[in-house]
Amino acid sequence: MGEVDYMDDEIRKTISEIQEYYKKRANDGKYATSPDFNLREVEIHYLSQWLNDGKKILDVGCGNGYSTLSHAARFNSCFVGIDFVPEIIQSANELKNQFKLLGSVDFKNGDVTDLRFENESFDIVISERCLLNLPAKDLQWTAIKEISRVLKKGGHYLMLEGSLQGLHKMNDIREKFDLEPIPEAEKSYNWFSNKFDEDEMLSYSKQHFSSLETIQRFGMYFFISRVIHPLLVSPDQPKYDARINEIAKNICLQIPDFENIGHEALYVHKK
């Protein structure tokens, strides 16, 4: 992360722990940074609807590059992927050999709170569950400001990030069926998940973007995978590789939302 005056020792410690977590997962395969691989494919599908050929595209927090490479296999554009874990970038460069690319892809170490690019360098910037890894709100605001700075006027920021409101709505439905609430963060698997209060985030974003084009939600996937699936297998625990999650993915690709639920959403900002 960039040097920020207000970053105290506890935040620095958390950032170090996040880096170590992803360092250990660097060689866990193409879905290393997202065990819910069906959801990852849903994300890629809806992000791709905002991409096209001939663009310069920055993917911040690109992880092992699977999403970036999936887009570059479809679009003849210039992609740059950055991540703050060197081992993850190494894995991304190795994974590149498994793809037949139409576009170019350059992976490098980088920090979303201190982007080393000129003003208005990119037509599109993507963050896919990146800013929720920033453990302090001020760091998240700095990241949004930096993303706006490197985005060209008229360009789009495809912000696929965590939503507190969507999580709470999903838990309201789970409660009706006596399912335990899904925590905002859990030490065993997503203790660093710093989801956004949507109202607060959208209010701040107005300072850096001219408009919000749309909010794409994936409520149908979450309803099937986080409500129906656990009810079907109870008292056993649901598994990401269960057949029903693949069915949920396929339905969500046709009918994406249900009741605005889900712990993440795609916010499309235009500069």
CATH number, domain of 59, equals 3.40.50.150
Instruction: Classify strands 264-270 and 211-217 as parallel, antiparallel or unpaired.
Output: antiparallel
Residue 135 is predicted with a pLDDT of 84
Q: What percent of the chain has pLDDT over 90?
A: 80
Q: Is 241 part of any domain?
A: no
Report the amino acid identity of residue 237: Q
- How far apart CA 210 and CA 59 sit, in angstroms, is 21
Taking residues 11-17, what's their average pLDDT? 60
Residue 185 is predicted with a pLDDT of 73
Of residues 190 and 92, the one with the higher pLDDT is 92
User: CB-side exposure of 55: number of CA atoms within 13 Å?
Assistant: 22
Q: DSSP E strands: which ranges in the chain? A: 56-60, 78-83, 104-109, 122-128, 151-162, 211-217, 264-270
Burial zone of 5 (CB within 10 Å; 0-12 exposed, 13-18 middle, 19+ buried):
exposed
Find the range with the poorest average confidence among 16-30, 82-96, 116-130, 242-256. Answer: 16-30
Q: Is 236 part of any domain?
A: no
pLDDT-derived band of residue 6, with 50, 70 and 90 as boundaries?
Answer: very low
Helix or strand holding residue 119 (H, E): none
- How far apart CA 60 and CA 146 sit, in angstroms, is 11
Residue 50 is predicted with a pLDDT of 98
Q: Is 254 part of any domain?
A: no
pLDDT-derived band of residue 1, with 50, 70 and 90 as boundaries?
Answer: very low
Sheet strand arrangement including 56-60: 104-109, 78-83, 56-60, 122-128, 151-162, 264-270, 211-217
Q: What is the dihedral of CA 48, 54, 56, 60, to 10 degrees?
A: 20
Taking residues 215-229, what's their average pLDDT? 98
The DSSP call for residue 96 is G
Give 216's strand partners. 266
- How far apart CA 17 and CA 97 sit, in angstroms, is 30
At 245, list the tokens.
């999650």
Phi, psi of 128 (to 5 degrees): -120, 95
Taking residues 129-133, what's their average pLDDT? 93
Residue 172 is predicted with a pLDDT of 98
CA 220 to chain centre: 18
What range does the domain containing 159 cover?
9-163+185-218+263-270
Find the range with the poorest average confidence among 58-67, 90-99, 191-200. Answer: 191-200
Please provide the average confidence, as pLDDT, over all residues in the chain. Answer: 90
Taking residues 132-159, what's their average pLDDT? 96
Q: Report whether pLDDT(30) > 90.
A: no
- How far apart CA 255 and CA 21 sit, in angstroms, is 34
Q: Is 148 part of any domain?
A: yes
Taking residues 145-163, what's their average pLDDT? 98
Give 105's strand partners. 79
Residue 4 is predicted with a pLDDT of 44
Q: Is 94 part of any domain?
A: yes
CB 240 within 8 A of CB 140: no
Q: Is 126 part of any domain?
A: yes
Q: Is 72 part of any domain?
A: yes
> Measuring CA to CA, which residue among 19, 13, 35, 33 is closest to residue 242?
35
Taking residues 218-243, what's their average pLDDT? 97
Of residues 34 and 96, the one with the higher pLDDT is 96
Residue 193 is predicted with a pLDDT of 83
Taking residues 99-123, what's their average pLDDT? 97
Taking residues 211-217, what's their average pLDDT? 98
Q: Is 3 part of any domain?
A: no
Taking residues 85-100, what's their average pLDDT? 92
- Number of domains present in the structure of the chain: 1
